[in-house]
Structure 1
Amino acid sequence: MHHATPARRILPALLATTLLAGGLLLGQTAAAPAAEAAVSGTCHPEQLRRQAHAERSRAAQLKRLGAREEARRAAARADALDRRARQCERADEIVSPPFGR
């Protein structure tokens, strides 16, 4: 029976640990701006509604041109933007102001 040398056992474990730690750090740095934006309150319902209106007019134009699938996707994006605007408005109503304001 052939026994693995200590280096043959340690190096793959060390490599796997390094890759895992690097992946976790990379994932945290990539998610940090998104989490920071969510916490800082960068939700603008009026801007989201303007974007939804632009998507709806784009969808109507695409539909007139005969691009049905692209029009459907643009309408779906507009619906998603409207939902996000409603969520922002509801969150503003539900969240109480900080103490002392």
Structure 2
Amino acid sequence: MKNATPLRRTLSALAATTLLAGGLLLGQTVTAPTAQAAGKTVVCDVPKMRQQSHELRAKADRLQQLGATGEARKARAQADALDYKIQNCVDAENGHAKPFPG
């Protein structure tokens, strides 16, 4: 490729990389296992989930008082994620949305 212009070399390298990456992605898609939750009913134990959320928030408050702000922030984030799942379960029971949209 001594006579090729820099743009032509760049484009051919880009094309080769794209084809290689596309082949890898296609291979992973073909060999990936199918989702096991498809078609099954998701059961939500809302009272238990609310209890876990409350415990996480209490843990976050204790950690905040001890000065561990990073750990407290992480516990609050876990509680927020749990509250989000609870709300999705409640909405699904009321027929407003599918559980755990993704």
Bucket of the pairwise TM-score, normalised by the shorter protein: 0.5 to 0.7
Confirm whether residue 71 of structure 1 aligns to residue 72 of structure 2. yes
Larger helix percent? 1
Distance 1:63 1:45, change over 3 A: same
Q: Greater relative contact order (Cα 8 A, min sep 6): structure 1 or 2?
A: 1
Give the match for residue 83 of structure 1.
84
CA distance in 1 between counterparts of 2:72 and 2:35 reads 34
Q: Percent identity?
A: 36
CA distance in 1 between counterparts of 2:85 and 2:51 reads 12
CA distance in 2 between counterparts of 1:25 and 1:47 reads 38
Distance 1:37 1:75, change over 3 A: farther
**TM-score computed with the length of structure 2 as normaliser:** 0.58
Name the SS of the counterpart of 1:42 in structure 2: coil
CA distance in 2 between counterparts of 1:65 and 1:77 reads 19
CA distance in 2 between counterparts of 1:44 and 1:37 reads 19
Encode CA deviations 1:16-64: one digit per residue, 9 max, x unaligned.
Answer: 85x555411343x1x513xx17742222222221221121121112112
Runs of 4+, deviation exceeding 4 Å: none
Question: Cα RMSD (Å) of the superposition?
Answer: 2.8
Give the match for residue 25 of structure 1.
30
